């Protein structure tokens, strides 16, 4: 007999870890105790040495889905206690609020099987769940995570469910949202006027969809609008009613095979699609005729992640448009009454239920690059799990940017990034942002002692941070936008030392008060220098040039010495520029994309931010060529004028827009290579972090790391948070962490 004390570090609390240990210990016939500690879980076991060692070997591979084991320490040779059974001990630590909260988890295979099993007592029950799946974050009102403090509080368990809940051998042991048709919530269907209809709710929703209607469906973190995807007229009706201009729609496909009929799917993409996170994954279109869903070369696809989705698809619906239900950039709708009111005239029917959503959480969005997940939106299925960022200290609230707002709250070396919040310029979104900050502080029991925000004086996140810092007497740090992007990508990759940051995005407030965005920085968390950028572009009419892309095209042509006669209103722009009226300069990479998209006639009036870049990428026809490069000044500016002159000449010579689009992208790749090589020569550094919204571009991301490798440079891209402004709060937090604590 031997005694061993086993410390398991990582995310092992609130994920069904102790019941798992209980079962595993039983299998090996060991005795002892388990308890939660402040850093994980501690086991005391006694048994034969080889049995204990076999137990230790088996443990990591069989841990619960959500557990993240970072280290297992075994301490042999303790005093024998002579245990006669195995006990779960209550610890003092549990009184503290340090339990992690699980994200919402997609329907597991066991529950799916029961859902479709005629003889199961939960046959076709749309709220079936277990310890391995179901709603979590979105139904929690407060901690500790116990049924009474969730939306399930109003549904007392029936004796059958109660028995499962207390049976440690059962898959539903301590599953807080566990329920069944006898004791749990139910679905109902309302017509277009919001009148509840008698009969089978799911069948009525299916009938409306099959007949070409649009149905609002209550999901995990909010409402979706669902309709058929095979008919462009239906998609057009949805766009018109929702005023969703031209943004792509996401699809829900009944399974991977159904998705494969529309898109190419690599093994890594299949794995991500079917993972318990169930994000939307951007997949390359395989067939023609999907332009009514997305004008890009990719389509956003997800698999059913709730039992209700599975029942809605049924046997015959293969793929549906499944787009979040929100109105003109306000947050996703999530309550029954507000949805019935807000979606009147938009939805032809409502598939609702009486399990309340407490917290909005949009679908997450990913692409897969080189077999690895590349996050574009980290939300449902991921949030509120923390990132462990070595070197992080607690007590910092990073307030993010504005259009793709998010925040990060730290506690110890855990950083809790918020879900997708949206554009703070809407009153409702700003209110949602403030509520979520308060919610996170309560859930994770972390009261910030330091605030950090962007340097942009007009961001509403800046206003929030300033007001709060003043009210609570807290220190406030304002961080340059692209430095924060850079730091976010460093933290994401565990880099701490100095490196090169290639940061390309649309807009960010520069230290000189102008707009930056085509930046090459050298630095670390503590500071940076602006090594390079792009030649500034004057924006006639300021913000109007963000929408009216002709204005940018005009500025590019004029500066390059080309004929501007083809641009309507050229004379007006000339007089505005000469008078110096509202013509701020921007070195944003997004503007270069916009201007070239307009030059090629792809788009003159942008329907959404970044559309110029989306259309340029979508239009690419394979071509190896590129345009002449020129650089000048300090910071080293990419002079795009020779490129513009070459594009104009090729247009005149009748070269297809798709080839020019490819050569434009290739030119940027070459430009990045030269810029980073020079930064490396100047600094002696070889690590390059890639961040900023322009790196949502798949064409660039599939080529840039290899191109930089040819220069002897090591490229790092985001792996856990987004490259766009949503990921930036992580960088703000790490910068504050360094400046305040080191
Ligand atoms: Zn399950
Ligand atoms: Zn029940
Ligand atoms: Fe940005």
Model pLDDT for residues 610-663, shown as the tens digit of each residue = 999 999 999 999 999 999 999 999 999 999 999 999 999 999 999 999 999 999
Ligand sitting nearest the alpha carbon of 178 = 2
State the pLDDT at residue 11.
77
With 0-12 / 13-18 / 19 or more C-beta atoms within 10 angstroms meaning exposed / middle / buried, residue 71 is exposed
Q: What are phi and psi of 291, to 5 degrees?
A: -65, -25
Nearest bound ligand to CA 130? Answer: 1
Instruction: With H, G, I as helix, E, B as strand and everything else as coil, classify residue 320.
Output: strand
d(CA 167, ligand 2 centre) in Å: 14
Residue 328 pLDDT exceeds 90: no
- Position 573 scores a pLDDT of 96
The CA-based dihedral angle spanning residues 225, 230, 234, 235, taken in that order and rounded to the nearest 10 degrees: 60
Ligand located closest to 403 CA: 3
Starting from the CA of residue 128, give the closest ligand: 1
Q: How far is CA 345 from CA 109, 341, 699, in A?
A: 37, 9, 39
Smallest-distance ligand from the CA of 113: 1
Mean pLDDT, all residues of the chain? 95
Ligand 1 centroid vs 270 CA: distance in angstroms?
A: 20
**Spatial separation of the C-alpha atoms in residues 599 and 557, rounded to whole Å:** 9
Beta carbons of 556 and 595 less than 8 angstroms apart: yes
382-414 pLDDT per residue, tens? 999 999 887 888 999 999 999 999 999 999 878
At 91 the pLDDT is 67
Higher pLDDT, 146 or 439: 439
- Percent of the chain, pLDDT > 70? 99
Ligand whose nearest atom lies closest to the CA of 276: 1
Q: Given strand 396-398, what is the order of strands in its sheet?
A: 387-388, 414-417, 408-411, 396-398, 450-454, 476-479
Closest CA to 227 of 345, 340, 343, 320: 320
End-to-end CA distance of the chain: give it in Å, rounded.
48
Of 34, 38, 174, 15, which Cα lies nearest the Cα of 98?
38
Instruction: Give 742's pLDDT tier (boundaries 50, 70, 90).
Output: low
User: Can you tell me the distance from the alpha carbon of 311 to that of 206, in angstroms, rounded to the nearest whole number?
Assistant: 9
Residue 26 has which token pair? 């039983």
Q: Is the pLDDT confidence value at 173 over 80?
A: yes
- Strands 396-398 and 86-88 come out as unpaired
Which one of the ligands is nearest to 724 CA? Answer: 3
Backbone dihedral region for residue 725 (phi beyond 0: left; psi -120 to 50: alpha; all else: beta): alpha
d(CA 377, CA 207): 33
What spacing in Å lies between the alpha carbon of 533 and ligand 3's midpoint?
A: 14
**E strand map for 464-534:** 476-479, 499-509, 515-524, 527-534
Residue 507 CA to ligand 2 center (angstroms) comes to 53
Q: Which of 316, 305, 355, 364 is nearest to 335 (CA)?
A: 355
Provide the pLDDT for residue 99. 63
Instruction: Say how many Å lie between the CA of residue 133 and the centre of ligand 1.
Output: 4
Instruction: Answer whether 378's CB lies under 8 Å from 726's CB.
Output: yes
User: What average pLDDT does the segment 495-509 reach?
Assistant: 96
Distance 467 CA to ligand 2 centre (A): 48
Q: What is the H or E stretch that residue 682 is in?
A: helix 657-683
Which residues on neighbouring strands pair with residue 509, listed in sequence order? Answer: 515
pLDDT at 305 over 60: yes
361 CA → ligand 1 middle, Å: 20
- Rounded Cα distance between 187 and 308, Å, is 9
Radius of gyration of the chain (CA): 27
Q: What is the pLDDT of residue 9?
A: 86
The pTM assigned to this predicted structure is 0.95
The per-residue DSSP string of 118-148 comes to TTSTTTT-TT--BTTBB--GGGB-SSS--GG
**Cα 334 to averaged position of ligand 2 atoms, centre (Å):** 25
Residue that wins the pLDDT comparison between 156 and 390: 156
Which ligand number lies closest to the CA of residue 182?
A: 2
Please state which of the ranges 242-246, 258-262, 356-360, 394-398 shows the lowest mean pLDDT: 242-246
Tell me the C-alpha to C-alpha distance, in Å, between residue 589 and each of 563, 598, 638, 694.
23, 15, 11, 7
Instruction: Tell me which ligand sits closest to the C-alpha of residue 129.
Output: 1
CA distances from 72 to 27, 68, 412 (A): 20, 11, 20
Closest CA to 222 of 401, 342, 344: 342
Ligand 2 center to 354 CA (angstroms): 15
The two counts, helices (H) then strands (E), for the chain are 22, 31
Segment among 9-23, 572-586, 721-735 with least mean pLDDT: 9-23
pLDDT of residue 231: 96
**Distance of CA 115 from the midpoint of ligand 1 (Å):** 10
Sketch out the chain's domains with CATH numbers. 2-88 (3.30.70.100), 187-353 (3.90.870.10), 386-493+725-741 (3.30.420.360), 499-716 (3.30.420.40)
**C-alpha torsion 307→309→314→316, nearest 10:** -150
Q: What percent of the chain has pLDDT over 90?
A: 88
- Sheet of 223-228: strand order equals 196-197, 187-191, 349-353, 215-218, 223-228, 319-324, 250-253, 298-302, 280-284, 365-369, 372-377
Residue 114 Cα to ligand 1 midpoint, Å, equals 9
Q: What is the pLDDT of residues 541-580, one digit of tens each?
A: 999 999 999 999 999 999 999 999 999 999 999 999 999 8
In the predicted structure, residue 741 carries a pLDDT above the cut 90: no
pLDDT, tens digit (0-9, with 9 covering 90-100), for 407-463: 999 998 789 999 999 999 999 999 999 999 999 999 998 999 999 999 999 999 999
Indicate whether 532 pLDDT > 80.
Answer: yes
**For the CA of 482, the nearest ligand:** 3
Alpha-carbon distances, residue 229 vs 47, 258, 264, 313, 701 (angstroms): 60, 13, 18, 13, 29
Predicted confidence (pLDDT) at residue 97 exceeds the cutoff of 60 = no
Residue 126: the pLDDT is 98
Backbone phi and psi for residue 134, each to the nearest 5 degrees, phi listed first: 115, -175
CA of 107 to the centre of ligand 1 (A): 6
CA 129 to ligand 1 centroid distance, Å: 5
pLDDT at 93 over 60: no
Q: How far from the centroid of its chain's Cα atoms is residue 39's Cα?
A: 27
How far apart CA 67 and CA 498 sit, in angstroms, is 33
610/296 Cα distance (integer angstroms): 12
In 315-371 the beta strands, taken as DSSP E runs, fall at 319-324, 349-353, 365-369
Residue 13 has pLDDT above 80, yes or no: no
Residues 579, 571: Cα–Cα separation, whole Å: 12
Ligand nearest to the CA of 307: 1
Q: Inform me whether the pLDDT recorded for 25 exceeds 60.
A: yes
Q: Quickly tell me which residue has 């769940």 as its tokens.
A: 129
Q: Which residues pair with 516 in a beta bridge?
A: 508
Report the separation in Å between the CA atom of 650 and the middle of ligand 3, taken as the mean of its atom positions.
32
**Closest of 549, 543, 533 to residue 600, by C-alpha:** 549
Residue 561, SS3? coil
Nearest ligand atom owner, CA of 610 = 3
Looking at the DSSP bridge assignments, the partners of residue 324 are: 224
Return the DSSP state at 219: -
**Mean pLDDT across the stretch 509-532?**
97
CA of 484 to the centre of ligand 3 (A): 9
Q: Identify the pLDDT of residue 254.
A: 97
Closest ligand by atom to 401 CA: 3
Higher-scoring residue by pLDDT: 388, 720: 720
| SS3 at position 111 | helix
DSSP-derived secondary structure letter, 347: B
Q: Where are the alpha helices (DSSP H) in 493-633?
A: 544-547, 550-559, 570-579, 589-599, 611-618
Q: In angstroms, what is the span from residue 366 Cα to ligand 1's centroid?
A: 24
- Cα of 164 from ligand 2 centre, angstroms: 9
113 CA distance to ligand 1 middle (Å)? 9
Give the per-residue SS3 of 387-444: EECCCCCCCEEECCCCCCECCEEEECCEEEECCCCECCCCHHHHHHHHHHHHHHHHHC
Place of tokens 């792996």: 719
Q: Which ligand is located closest to the Cα atom of residue 402?
A: 3
- Closest ligand to 405 CA? 3
Ligand 2 centroid–CA 315 distance in Å is: 27
């Amino acid at each position: 007999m031997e005694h061993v004390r086993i410390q398991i570090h990582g995310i092992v609390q609130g994920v069904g870890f102790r019941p798992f240990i209980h079962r595993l210990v039983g299998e090996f016939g060991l005795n002892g105790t388990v308890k939660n500690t402040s850093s994980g879980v501690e086991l005391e076991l006694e048994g034969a040495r080889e049995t204990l060692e076999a137990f230790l070997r088996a443990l990591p591979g069989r841990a619960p889905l959500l557990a993240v084991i970072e280290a297992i320490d075994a301490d042999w040779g303790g005093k024998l206690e002579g245990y006669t059974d195995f006990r779960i001990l209550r610890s003092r630590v549990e009184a503290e609020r340090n339990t992690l909260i699980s994200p919402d988890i997609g329907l597991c295979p066991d529950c799916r099987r029961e859902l479709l099993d005629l003889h199961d007592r939960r046959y076709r029950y749309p709220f079936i769940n277990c310890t391995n799946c179901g709603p979590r974050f979105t139904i929690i009102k407060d901690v500790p995570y116990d049924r009474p403090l969730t939306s399930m509080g109003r549904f007392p368990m029936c004796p059958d469910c109660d028995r499962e809940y207390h049976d440690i051998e059962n898959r539903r042991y301590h599953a807080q949202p566990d329920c069944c048709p006898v004791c749990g919530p139910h679905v109902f269907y309302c017509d277009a006027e919001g009148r509840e209809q008698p009969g089978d709710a799911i069948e009525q929703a299916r009938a409306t969809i099959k007949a070409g209607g649009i149905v609002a469906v209550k999901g995990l973190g909010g409402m979706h609008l669902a309709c058929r995807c095979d008919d462009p007229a239906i998609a057009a009706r949805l766009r018109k009613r929702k005023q969703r201009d031209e943004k792509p729609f996401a699809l829900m496909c009944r399974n991977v095979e159904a998705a494969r009929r529309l898109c190419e799917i690599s093994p890594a993409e299949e794995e991500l699609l079917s993972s318990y996170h169930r994000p939307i994954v951007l997949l390359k279109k395989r067939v023609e005729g999907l332009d009514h869903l997305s004008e890009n070369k990719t389509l956003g696809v997800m698999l059913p992640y709730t039992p209700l989705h599975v029942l809605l698809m049924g046997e015959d619906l293969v793929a549906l448009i499944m787009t979040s239900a929100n109105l003109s950039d306000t947050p996703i709708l999530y309550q029954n009454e507000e949805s019935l009111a807000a979606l009147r005239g938009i939805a032809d029917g409502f598939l609702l239920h009486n399990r309340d959503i407490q917290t909005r959480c949009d679908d997450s969005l990913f692409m897969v690059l080189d077999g690895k997940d590349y996050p574009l939106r980290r939300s449902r299925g991921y949030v509120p799990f923390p990132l462990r960022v070595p070197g992080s200290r607690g007590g910092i609230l990073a307030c993010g940017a504005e259009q793709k707002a998010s925040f990060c709250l730290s506690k110890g070396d855990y950083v809790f990034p918020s879900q997708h919040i949206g554009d703070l310029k809407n009153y409702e979104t700003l209110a949602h942002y403030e509520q979520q900050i308060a919610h996170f502080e309560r859930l994770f029991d972390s009261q910030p002692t330091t605030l950090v925000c962007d340097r942009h004086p007009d961001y509403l996140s800046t206003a929030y941070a300033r007001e709060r810092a003043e009210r609570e007497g807290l220190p406030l740090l304002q961080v340059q936008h692209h430095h924060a992007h850079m730091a976010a990508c460093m933290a994401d990759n565990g880099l701490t030392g100095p490196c090169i940051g290639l940061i390309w995005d649309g807009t960010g407030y520069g230290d000189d008060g102008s707009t930056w965005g085509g930046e090459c920085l050298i630095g670390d968390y503590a500071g940076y220098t602006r090594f390079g950028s792009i030649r500034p572009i004057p924006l006639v009419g300021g913000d109007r040039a963000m929408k009216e892309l002709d204005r940018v095209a005009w500025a590019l042509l004029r500066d390059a010495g080309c004929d501007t006669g083809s641009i309507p209103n050229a004379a007006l722009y000339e007089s505005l520029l000469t008078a110096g009226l509202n013509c701020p300069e921007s070195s944003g990479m997004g503007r270069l994309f916009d201007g070239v998209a307009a030059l090629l006639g792809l788009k003159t009036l942008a329907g959404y931010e970044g559309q110029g870049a989306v259309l340029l990428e979508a239009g690419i026809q394979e071509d190896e060529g590129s345009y002449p490069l020129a650089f000048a000044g300090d910071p080293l500016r990419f002079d795009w004028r020779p490129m513009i002159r070459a594009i104009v000449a090729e247009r005149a010579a009748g070269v297809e827009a798709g080839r020019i689009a490819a050569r434009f992208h290739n030119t940027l790749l070459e430009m990045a290579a030269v810029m980073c090589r020079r930064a490396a020569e100047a600094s002696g550094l070889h690590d390059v972090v890639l961040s900023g919204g322009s790196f949502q571009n798949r064409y660039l991301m599939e080529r840039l790391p290899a191109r930089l490798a040819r220069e002897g440079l090591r490229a790092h891209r985001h792996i856990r948070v987004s490259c766009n402004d949503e990921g930036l709060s992580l960088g703000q937090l790490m910068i504050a962490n360094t400046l305040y604590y080191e």
